[in-house]
A = this chain, B = another copy of it.
Amino acid sequence: METSRPLDALNQARNKRVMIDLKNNRQYIGKLKAFDIHINVVLEEAEEMVNGELSRKLGVIFIRGDTITVISPS
């Protein structure tokens, strides 16, 4: 992978499934549709996981960037 800047890695994940960990220990899995420099993120077909178990099926969600710790491939 070639990434000179961190947001390049997010760009390469666009339209792919990612797992997003929040500071409150919730996880969201879904297709990465959009992000900005604040790391505000939009997922499609999103599912919320709590303690590793499916908590809610949510569809399109907006996640505020400052609550995110890690974004990784799901």
Contact = CB atoms under 8 A, between A and B. Distances in A.
A9 B4 CA distance: 16
Contacts of A4: 34
A13 B65 CA distance: 19
A4 B11 CA distance: 11
Nearest to A40: B6
28 contacts: A1-B44, A1-B60, A3-B33, A3-B34, A3-B42, A4-B34, A5-B36, A6-B40, A6-B41, A6-B42, A8-B34, A8-B42, A9-B33, A9-B42, A9-B60, A22-B69, A23-B23, A24-B25, A28-B70, A60-B72, A61-B72, A62-B72, A63-B70, A64-B68, A64-B70, A66-B66, A67-B68, A67-B70
